[in-house]
Amino acid sequence: MADHDGEDRTITAEGLRRTFGAVPAVDGVDLHIPGGRIFGFLGPNGAGKTTLVKILTTILNPTAGKATVAGYDVQRQGGKVREAIGVALQDVGLDPLMTARELLVLQSQLFGKSGEEARQKAERLLVTVGLDDVDPKKRAGAYSGGMKRRLDLALALVNDPRILFLDEPTTGLDPASRVGIWEEVRRLNEELGMTIFLTTQYLEEADRLADEIAIINKGKIVAAGTPGELKREVGDEVVELQFAQCEEAEQAYDALAGIAPNRQATGHDLRLYFGRAAENVPELVRVLDGAGIRLQGLTIEQPSLDDVFLRVTGEALEHGVDEAGDAASGSPAPDAPTSDVPAPIAAASDAPASKEALATANEEAKP
């Protein structure tokens, strides 16, 4: 459904680089994301995910290279970029004393809508994200984590964006709330043709949602392709060997080098990648027995994105941990928002809100 209305919904980056002192957080990244795709962006903590998102959403300027979003240059046309995108960052920025309708009306008026238009927009968005049946007097501070994420998503949709940036939208949510966000993301993509740039700590999330995936490590893209393509590169099948001790897994890693050159040890387990796994099992068992290494368990399964991630980064992806240190220093782009208001409002547009809109937003939002 790319560019179904003729508008540019692509994201590109060429040689994109961002350093903090002598440390490169983003180091020569090239991307081309066609319009209408869900793009999954993965990486270990501190790998550069959040820094890249901040560059693409005009919060940070790159040190070198070029990037365009919706056809606009992120440095020279920052205002145009912000008019074309919606942004829901990892930290939900909601005023806890305001209701959902008040927040949505205010956001709509910041984008230039009249009072009545803003109220109508707020009601439509509450239906879109499944919050229309919530007590209209309930303040955002009393919302559950899943409800706050839904409201944050609604705020990112106020300006009818062509491209939506979601930075770890389901981190910390319970499984049911997570699935609800997944369904909404898929609907936005399929029904509206919206390009969605998704960073996530959950490999299952990327596997289920993303049309294409890129993995960043130490500022560089180390793998890219569809989930199926990336998993096939690892191997057709995986043999997982379980041991009682980590030392035994390490010994097995060395002993099986001649049989399984493509292998990965993680704690008590050893994962071996083959074209045809079952044919190699008898030889694996024979070698381990000959080396005096006791095997506790053995399973054969299909490769997962966990295997891809482990292979290209050398570590498992930790869930629910903030990206410590990523873009922790440096200053925003000259034309980027610097206030402490919620991120979706701050990143909205270059156009200033009128005094009337700011003064009457709360009154207009009353049900």
Per-residue pLDDT tens over the stretch 98-113: 999 999 999 899 888 8
- Contact predicate 148/169, CB 8 Å: no
Q: What is the mean pLDDT of residues 77-91?
A: 88
pLDDT at residue 320 tops 90: no
Between strands 163-167 and 195-199, the pairing is parallel
Q: What is the DSSP letter of 93?
A: -
315 — pLDDT class (breaks 50, 70, 90) = low
What are the residues whose beta carbons fall under 8 Å from the beta carbon of 26, sequence distance 6 or more?
Answer: 16, 17, 18, 48, 51, 52, 55, 62, 219
Note the pLDDT tens digit of each residue in 198-212: 998 888 889 999 999
Q: What percent of the chain has pLDDT over 70?
A: 83
Question: What homologous superfamily is domain 11-229+320-365 in, according to CATH?
Answer: P-loop containing nucleotide triphosphate hydrolases (3.40.50.300)
Question: What integer pLDDT is reported at residue 190 of this predicted model?
Answer: 92
- For the entire predicted model, the pTM comes to 0.74
What are the residues whose beta carbons fall under 8 Å from the beta carbon of 13, sequence distance 6 or more?
Answer: 29, 30, 31, 52, 56, 65, 66, 67
Q: What is the mean pLDDT of residues 148-164?
A: 89
Q: How many beta carbons lie within 10 A of that of residue 148, not counting itself?
A: 20
Question: What integer pLDDT is reported at residue 123 of this predicted model?
Answer: 92
Reported CATH class of domain 236-302: alpha beta
Where do the structural domains in the chain lie, given as residue ranges? Answer: 11-229+320-365, 236-302
316 — pLDDT class (breaks 50, 70, 90) = low
- Contact predicate 62/75, CB 8 Å: yes
- Contact predicate 175/186, CB 8 Å: no
- E strand or H helix at 30: strand 23-33
Note the pLDDT tens digit of each residue in 234-262: 777 889 999 999 999 999 999 999 988 88
What are the residues whose beta carbons fall under 8 Å from the beta carbon of 107, sequence distance 6 or more?
Answer: 155, 158, 344, 345, 348
Q: What is the DSSP letter of 99?
A: B
- Contact predicate 253/291, CB 8 Å: no
How many CA within 13 A on the CB side of residue 55? 30
Cα-Cα-Cα-Cα torsion 113, 114, 115, 118, nearest 10 degrees, comes to -20
Mean of the per-residue pLDDT values of the chain: 82
Fold: same for 11-229+320-365 and 236-302:
no
Question: What integer pLDDT is reported at residue 306 of this predicted model?
Answer: 85
pLDDT at residue 74 tops 60: yes
Q: Which residue has the higher pLDDT, 181 or 210?
A: 210
- Contact predicate 291/250, CB 8 Å: no
299 — pLDDT class (breaks 50, 70, 90) = very high
- Contact predicate 56/165, CB 8 Å: yes
92 — pLDDT class (breaks 50, 70, 90) = low
